[in-house]
């Protein structure tokens, strides 16, 4: 493990097979060079603007402002092409893949959102796309499998293990070691081995940079975002990390409640361990076995979290609180009814947490909620929950 790949010397790094080390080193070198190249930045900036629709609006929500008694803004990542912040990451990584001379990109996906975002970027940039997806997820996420097909991607159903996200990641990593010469691995969140946590943060930090510009000369009192693997949250936080006046608050998936054990609140209830090649908080049992997670939102259903969030938690720079399914569903319906905005169930966790923290803010305060994605994808799921009386 090398120290430049860690946060606070303790979280992150790369604990991977020998075979993967050269892949990750090549990626790190390429990224450091591309990041500082004005031509690359201009090309990425133009695509994010003209194709994806950046900058996304910062909308002052009248309903939330009245509810909290302060100014509350929604950062509208739900309006980005593709319907969520994931587009920032996949276009950036796919562009890097082209620059590195790779002709194929691979990705893991759970619910299918990252697979769709990668397939979209591949179609845009003329890259072959292979998406590894657990067979169980392929069966339950037909519309996303269909979207990936329309974008020209191949979906590889993984039968190994529990046939879900963690097995898909393992298969994608294995495939990468065999095909690294012409293949780039587009990782879906700010977790995994170095350099992904930093690479994905750098690609998502545009969210917080825009918030800073849109509020200038003012600034937020607090930025609130939901945390699955942590990419939309770190993207919203990064620009403000060095300003101690700005509170950084993460909403974790509390599922049925942290006390029940059926949740995905990694930072609230986990402890440091190793998962998918890096050290971070992990949900594990007394024997170090990774535990099953549960959340009403598939995009937050991950037993790990990005290492930078573990560092921000341990240093007290950011705080992370669980929001349970019922509270998130309530916020989903509330925002729909009050603002005519359907948030993704993931993003509804951040809205719910803001509502819960109501008493903390006064009339001069400015709270920004990162609305990471739109909720159209969740309508079937919410309808089923309604039938079940939830
Ligand atoms: C995937 C997803 C998330 C969770 O991923 P992070 O890496 O934690 O951001 C959150 N919101 C939406 C809308 C998503 O699609």
Q: What is the pLDDT of residues 226-280, one digit of tens each?
A: 999 999 999 999 999 999 999 999 999 999 999 999 999 999 999 999 998 999 9
DSSP-derived secondary structure letter, 112: S
- Which atom of ligand 1 lies closest to the CA of 227? 8
Q: Are residues 170 and 242 in the same domain?
A: no
CA distances from 137 to 111, 132, 166, 181, 265 (A): 6, 10, 11, 29, 21
Residue 189 has pLDDT above 50, yes or no: yes
Beta bridge partners of 183: 104
Q: Are residues 298 and 355 in the same domain?
A: yes
Rounded to the nearest angstrom, the distance between the alpha carbon of 365 and the centre of ligand 1 is 26
The mean-pLDDT minimum among 214-218, 285-289, 339-343, 370-374 falls in: 285-289
Residue nearest to atom 13 of ligand 1 (CA): 373
How far apart are alpha carbons 186 and 109 in whole angstroms?
10
Last residue of one domain, picked from the residues 199, 221, 254: 199
298: pLDDT confidence band, cut at 50, 70 and 90?
confident
Mean pLDDT of 320-324: 98
Residue 13 lies in a domain: no
Residue 4 has pLDDT above 70, yes or no: no
Last residue of one domain, picked from the residues 156, 173, 199: 199
- Which atom of ligand 1 lies closest to the CA of 188? 7
Catalytic residue among 28, 77, 108, 252: 108
Question: 282: part of which helix (H) or strand (E)?
Answer: strand 278-282
The mean-pLDDT minimum among 14-18, 89-93, 280-284, 369-373 falls in: 14-18
CA distances from 219 to 208, 247, 319 (A): 11, 11, 19
Mean pLDDT of 107-111: 94
Q: Are residues 170 and 213 in the same domain?
A: no
Residue nearest to atom 7 of ligand 1 (CA): 231
Q: Are residues 31 and 110 in the same domain?
A: yes
Rounded to the nearest angstrom, the distance between the alpha carbon of 363 and the centre of ligand 1 is 30
Lookup result for tokens 């769709």? 116
Give residue ranges with CB within 6 A of ligand 1.
Answer: 84, 86, 113, 189, 226-233, 299-300, 344, 346-347, 372-373
294: pLDDT confidence band, cut at 50, 70 and 90?
confident
Residue nearest to atom 5 of ligand 1 (CA): 228
Rounded to the nearest angstrom, the distance between the alpha carbon of 299 and the centre of ligand 1 is 5
Q: Is 384 a catalytic residue?
A: no
Mean pLDDT of 287-294: 88
DSSP-derived secondary structure letter, 267: H
Residue 9 lies in a domain: no
Domain extent at residue 128: 21-47+86-199
Q: Are residues 341 and 236 in the same domain?
A: yes
The domain that holds 379 is classified in CATH as: 3.40.50.1100
Q: Is 86 a catalytic residue?
A: yes
Residue 261 burial by CB count (10 A; 0-12/13-18/19+): exposed, middle or buried?
Answer: middle
Q: What is the pTM of this model?
A: 0.97
- Which atom of ligand 1 lies closest to the CA of 230? 8
Q: Is 339 a catalytic residue?
A: no
Rounded to the nearest angstrom, the distance between the alpha carbon of 277 and the centre of ligand 1 is 20
Rounded to the nearest angstrom, the distance between the alpha carbon of 325 and the centre of ligand 1 is 16
Last residue of one domain, picked from the residues 174, 199, 224: 199
The mean-pLDDT minimum among 110-119, 243-252, 380-389 falls in: 380-389
8 A C-beta contact, residue 119 and residue 91: no
Q: What is the largest CA-CA distance in the chain?
A: 57
Residue 16 lies in a domain: no
8 A C-beta contact, residue 219 and residue 366: yes
pLDDT at 388: 87
| Alpha helix positions (H), the chain | 21-35, 38-50, 62-68, 86-99, 113-125, 135-140, 142-150, 165-179, 196-204, 206-215, 231-237, 266-269, 307-314, 325-339, 345-356, 379-387
Rounded to the nearest angstrom, the distance between the alpha carbon of 231 and the centre of ligand 1 is 7
How far apart are alpha carbons 73 and 385 in whole angstroms?
29
Q: What is the pLDDT of residues 152-181, one digit of tens each?
A: 999 999 998 888 888 899 999 999 999 999
Q: Is the peptide bond before 195 cis (omega within 30 degrees of 0)?
A: yes
Residue among 78, 232, 276 whose CB has most ligand 1 atoms within 8 A, to mutate: 232
Residue among 79, 84, 342 whose CB has most ligand 1 atoms within 8 A, to mutate: 84
Residue 1 lies in a domain: no
- The domain total for the chain is 2
How far apart are alpha carbons 166 and 68 in whole angstroms?
39
């Amino acid at each position: 493990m090398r120290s430049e790949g860690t946060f606070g010397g303790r979280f992150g790094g790369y604990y991977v097979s020998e075979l993967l080390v050269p892949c990750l080193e090549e990626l790190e070198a390429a990224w450091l060079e591309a990041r500082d190249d004005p031509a690359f930045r201009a090309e990425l900036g133009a695509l994010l603007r003209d194709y994806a629709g950046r900058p996304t609006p910062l909308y002052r929500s009248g309903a939330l402002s009245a509810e909290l008694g302060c100014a509350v803004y929604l950062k509208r990542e739900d309006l980005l092409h593709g319907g969520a912040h994931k587009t920032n990451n996949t276009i950036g990584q796919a562009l890097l893949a082209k620059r590195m001379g790779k002709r194929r990109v691979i990705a893991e996906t759970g619910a299918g959102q990252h697979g769709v975002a990668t397939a979209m970027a591949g179609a845009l940039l003329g890259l072959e796309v292979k998406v590894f997806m657990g067979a169980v997820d392929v069966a339950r996420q037909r519309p996303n499998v269909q979207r990936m097909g329309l974008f020209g991607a191949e979906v590889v159903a993984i039968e190994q293990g529990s046939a879900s996200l963690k097995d898909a990641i393992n298969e994608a990593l294995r495939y990468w070691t065999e095909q690294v010469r012409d293949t780039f691995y587009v990782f879906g969140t700010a977790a995994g081995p170095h350099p992904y946590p930093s690479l994905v943060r750098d690609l998502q930090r545009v969210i917080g940079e825009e918030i800073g510009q849109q509020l200038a000369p003012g600034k937020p009192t607090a930025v609130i975002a939901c945390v699955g693997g942590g990419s939309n949250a770190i993207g919203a936080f990064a620009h403000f990390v060095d300003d101690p006046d700005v509170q950084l608050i993460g909403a974790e998936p509390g599922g049925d409640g942290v006390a029940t054990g059926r949740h995905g609140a990694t930072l609230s209830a986990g402890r440091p361990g190793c998962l998918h090649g890096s050290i971070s908080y992990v949900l594990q049992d007394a024997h170090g076995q990774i535990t099953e997670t549960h959340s009403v939102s598939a995009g937050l259903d991950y037993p790990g979290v990005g290492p930078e969030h573990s560092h921000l938690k341990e240093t007290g720079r950011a705080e992370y609180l669980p929001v349970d399914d019922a509270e998130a569903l309530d916020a989903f319906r509330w925002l729909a009814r009050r603002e005519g905005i359907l948030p993704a169930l993931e993003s509804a966790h951040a809205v719910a947490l803001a509502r819960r923290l109501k008493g903390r803010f006064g009339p001069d305060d400015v709270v920004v909620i990162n609305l990471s994605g739109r909720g159209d994808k969740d309508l079937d799921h919410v309808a089923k929950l309604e039938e079940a009386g939830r």
